[in-house]
Amino acid sequence: MIETGAEPESRAERKLRTRRAILDATLELCSDSSLTALSLRQVAKQVGIVPTAFYRHFDSIESLGLALVEESFDSLRDLFRDVRRNAEADKDIVDGSIDALVDHVHRRRNHFGFIARERVAGPRSVREAIQREIELCERELATDLARMAGTATWTAKDLHVLSSLFVTVLVATAEQILSTSHPEQERQIVATVRTQLRMLLIGVYQWQSEG
């Protein structure tokens, strides 16, 4: 090698870099199929390490999956933060939220795809971890909704019911965006969910919680 731009790495840094490479390779490899169909050797080959070296970082594909769940939900929390920011600015709540969703799905395509897939098709422990995280998101969103106009008289239960519906629509929309590569089709999807949320909001403004 004539010149490597790389500065000298400490051992810890190097290990972290390999770990990152494993995580990235896994997201890449299971971007169509599933963790359960992924072999340790495929990952190792993609990373450029020998199969046994995998064990220096994770003790199974399953625990690798759990690490990816955490990482992916960091992406999702970023999305929530942006939705909240858009809402606090003067932006329309529907358009602002959808813009943030589309933007994040594109930027973290692999993370959102990972959640969508492993949520239903992953190893049991991974599915459960994702379910827990989604419930956290629903609770978080519910407290945001409590501050929204028109929900002053709502029960906590109704707030959570609404929050869960929003999350469902959000997840479904993300899945649809992920499954197309045509910008025209994507605009269609966005227009659809825009109308859906507006229909829903009309109901929300009229809703009266009953004991």
d(CA 178, CA 134): 19
Q: Is 164 in the site for a second copy (CB under 8 A)?
A: yes
Q: Is 14 in the site for DNA (CB under 7 A)?
A: yes
Which region, judged by CB under 7 A, interacts with DNA, from 8-16, 93-101, 165-173, 188-196? 8-16
How many beta carbons lie within 10 A of that of residue 154, not counting itself? 20
The listed partner (DNA, a second copy, none) that binds 67, CB under 5 to 8 Å by sort, is: none
Helix (H) or strand (E) holding 100: helix 93-107
For residue 18, what are the contacts with CB-CB under 8 A and spacing of at least 6? 47, 49, 53, 56, 57
3-state secondary structure of 63: helix
Q: Is 52 in the site for DNA (CB under 7 A)?
A: yes
CB of 60 to a second copy, least distance (A): 15
How many beta carbons lie within 10 A of that of residue 25, not counting itself? 19
- Site track 132-151 with DNA (rule: CB under 7 A), x = hit: --------------------
Among 6, 12, 89, 120, binds a second copy (CB under 8 A): 120
Distances 175 to 11, 87, 109, 113, 126 between C-alpha atoms, Å = 39, 23, 10, 7, 18
Residues that bind a second copy (CB under 8 A): 32-34, 36-37, 116-117, 120-121, 123-124, 127, 131, 158, 161-162, 164-165, 168-169, 171-172, 175, 179, 192, 195-196, 198-204, 206-207
